[in-house]
Amino acid sequence: MAVVAVVGAQWGDEGKGHIVDILAARAQTVIRYGGGNNAGHTVVNRHGTFKLHMVPAGIFEPATLNIVGNGTVIDPKHFLGELDGLTARGIVVDNLRISDRAHVIMPYHAMQDRFDEALKGDAKIGTTGRGIGPAYADKMARIGIRVADLRDPALFRERLTAVLTIKNRLLTTYYQAEPLDFETIYREYVAYGQRLAPYIADVYPDVQHALESNQSILLEGAQGVLLDIDHGTYPFVTSSQPGIAGASQGAGIAPSEIDHVMGVFKAYATRVGSGPFPSEVDGVAADALRQMGKPWAEVGTTTGRLRRVGWFDAVAARYATRLNGIDRLAITKLDVLDEVAEISICVGYRHNGQLINHPPSQPETYAEVEPVYEVMPGWLSPTQGVRTWADLPANAQAYVNRLAELCGAQVSMVSVGPGHDQIIEVMPVL
């Protein structure tokens, strides 16, 4: 019995869904702790292929309690759509709770997100346009609407009146847009509150019960730690804390209760949106990594945008590992490298002739660093059917071992395809 956090350890899209889906089946409680419907992952299991954005991956196990934690931001319309999609395909969602402390993404948040991006021009972040940044900003500014507020129409009226006064002033004067109609939003969101009511709860007792009864608990991350608001490539980051600190805060679990931090890394690197990416490649190398036309092609689950691709960046990976106390690694999509004859790993950055071994804090400097590569021979044989470490080609083993050595953590899982069974488990955490 253990508490395990699964964190994305690059720029998101590491294949966390696949790992979490396997581990969720062994956990009694799964808690999604941060982000919103900017996240998205594809889960392939015995029920079929699902694209999940907010609902924890344990939803497919009827005996598993699935909690959407206080650290998330929830777009109720989108969330209900996801629930409807699951129930339409026969998945029972009674085992779901939404923390009443989670914040609600309101219509003005998506408007602000898009207006701000347009105003920034070339300096835009490349957000998902889902209103994530403005929703977290309002939480911090103490003008957020929480899920609990939606359940109580009178209280919601009071809260919305206060907030919409501010927002409509902002929309009409600063953004020079039309004001939003109070009654329209009020009615729509009260209706969402009614539909979500069976799932909304103060989850503190559930979480404490899970801890006290020594359950296996999985803390499910979203995005990646290089998108962290503090430690990521600011300002090209998301507005939450995808790492271990966010896991503790966003799930309501003390840091000392967490037994293992599993960092999920793709065997190479991808990034969506703007921002530094020293090991980025284009041309033929990019085509090999992007895998267009395949079900696991590097296209965003949420936005459909083509992902930027590059070699594994061990400098950023070590930084992510150290900052988050990652002690176990899941290396995903190893099979994508099956046909690559020479595989590069970025093992250092050079800046103005000097070698540096961690990401610079300013994106302008970060964008200037030159990657220093180490090259390893590929294995040039298919790995999708491999199920044990011993059956992996020697060069594939050597590559994975080198990544582990550079990160400074032990390998727990390696994925060799999108299927539920396409996992090599080296050292189980749950």
Residues near ligand IMP (CB under 6 A) are 11-13, 38-39, 125-128, 130, 132-133, 222-223, 227, 236, 238-239, 272-273
Q: Are 228 and 241 in contact (CB under 8 A)?
A: yes
Residue 127 or 321: the one with the smaller Cβ distance to ligand IMP is: 127
Catalytic residue among 18, 41, 53, 103: 41
| Angle (nearest 5°) at CA 227 between 271 and 348 | 70
Q: Running DSSP on this structure, what letter comes out for residue 337? A: G
Q: For residues 390 and 101, what is the distance between their CA atoms, to the nearest angstrom?
A: 47
Task: Output 222 or 416, the one with its CB closest to ligand IMP.
Answer: 222
Residue 13 designated active-site = yes
Say if CB 342 and CB 32 are below 8 A apart. Answer: no
CA–CA separation, 376 vs 204, rounded Å?
48
What secondary structure letter does DSSP report for 237?
S
Alpha-carbon span 252 to 222, nearest angstrom: 16
Phi, psi of 299 (to 5 degrees): -125, 130
Cβ 322 to ligand IMP shortest distance, Å: 22
CB of 175 to ligand IMP, least distance (A): 18
Contacts of 380 (CB under 8 A, 6+ apart): 338, 339, 341
Find the shortest distance in angstroms from Cβ 307 to ligand IMP: 8
What residue is closest to ligand IMP based on CB? 273
Question: Least separation, in Å, of the C-beta of 132 and ligand IMP?
Answer: 4
Please state the closest distance from residue 276 (CB atom) to ligand IMP, in A.
11
Q: Give the residues across from 344 on adjacent strands.
A: 375
Compare residues 141 and 254 and give the one whose CB is closer to ligand IMP.
Answer: 141
According to DSSP, the β-strands at 354-356 and 328-332 are unpaired
- C-beta separation of 233 from 277 below 8 A: no
Residue position matching structure tokens 């190398």 = 285
What is the nearest approach in angstroms of ligand IMP to the Cβ of residue 223?
Answer: 5
Judged by CB, which is closer to ligand IMP: 61, or 113? Answer: 113
Cβ nearer to ligand IMP, comparing 193 with 263: 263
Q: Which helix (H) or strand (E) holds 51?
A: strand 48-52
Catalytic residues: 13, 41
